[in-house]
Structure 1
Amino acid sequence: MKKLLPTLIASALFASTAATAAPLMQQSAQQGQAMQQQQAQIKMTDALLKKFLAAMNQVQQVSQKYSKQFQNAENAEQAQTIQQKAQEEMIAAVNNAGLSAEEYNAVIQQVQQDPELQKRLQEMTEQS
């Protein structure tokens, strides 16, 4: 179980990057700066982290669901269609867990930068 959390976080990072890459690329530099400030202000409560863990598990399931289809795509157009469906489902999974894509990404960024937060998430995972 101890090795599971880093794997889940890596999967979540990959999935969330794929899920939010297009909208984020369309933002202006000013919007990007505002988003970074908002992410820094998010308080990591147990409730938020529980939502994050639920979202992360759902995102991972969606990623696994579409991974093989994506690898077996016959052409770039088909791969793009599969990726778009996966992104939509990932965003829906995050939203269904009670988070926005921005909040989800903010948690991922903070987890990557904060060993104490990693430990806290690990403990929450082991308790569930």
Structure 2
Amino acid sequence: MQRSTYAFLSAAILTTALSGAPALAQQAAQPQGQSQAQPGMAPAAVKPSDQQLQRFASASQKISGVVDEYRPKVDAAKTNEAKQKVVQEADAKMVQLVRADGLTVEEFNGIGQAVQQDPQLKQRVINMSQGAPAPR
């Protein structure tokens, strides 16, 4: 379960980068010696449909709000254990938001990887996040 948490948080960090929000779990993940890009953990890049991209854009915006909410809590935590607890709480909230938008965590992570690797796809997600129609 911990491996999927870090994979998801890596995707969350990616999506918050789209919105310019600071990364939440960066400091909390590193003290345990976990690399954010471990071999075998990254989901395979996918070719998402417009509907999946819209769901991804929606979930990404909501995740950005969670990051904004939990970043000060992570920063205020005094111990690594306390930081980890806050990160786990944020992670659970982000998982709920992704599922509420009709995606699995695996789909979300796969789309996130595809968006990271494809500048045109990234621009489509940004446009969707800003309410612009997706070019066809």
Partner in structure 1 of residue 118 of structure 2: 114
Equivalent of 1:78 in 82, 90, 94: 82
- Asked if structure 2 preserves the Cα contact closer than 8 Å seen for 1:94 and 1:104, the reply is yes
Give the helix-richer structure, 1 or 2: 1
1:61 equivalenced with 2:61 (yes/no) = no
- Asked if structure 1 preserves the Cα contact closer than 8 Å seen for 2:24 and 2:74, the reply is no
Partner in structure 2 of residue 8 of structure 1: 18
Q: Normalization by structure 2: what TM-score?
A: 0.64
Structure-1 separation of matches of 2:89 and 2:103: 19
**Which amino acid is 2:100 matched to?**
N
What does 1:32-71 correspond to in 2, within 5 Å?
Answer: 32=40, 36=43, 39-40=44-45, 42-71=46-75
Q: CA RMSD in A?
A: 3.1
Return 5+ residue gaps in structure 2 as ranges. 1-14, 28-34
Return 5+ residue gaps in structure 1 as ranges. 19-24
- Asked if structure 2 preserves the Cα contact closer than 8 Å seen for 1:59 and 1:90, the reply is yes
- Asked if structure 2 preserves the Cα contact closer than 8 Å seen for 1:16 and 1:90, the reply is no
Higher relative CO (CA 8 A, sep ≥ 6), structure 1 or 2?
1
Give the aligned length: 108
Q: Normalization by structure 1: what TM-score?
A: 0.67
Partner in structure 2 of residue 22 of structure 1: none
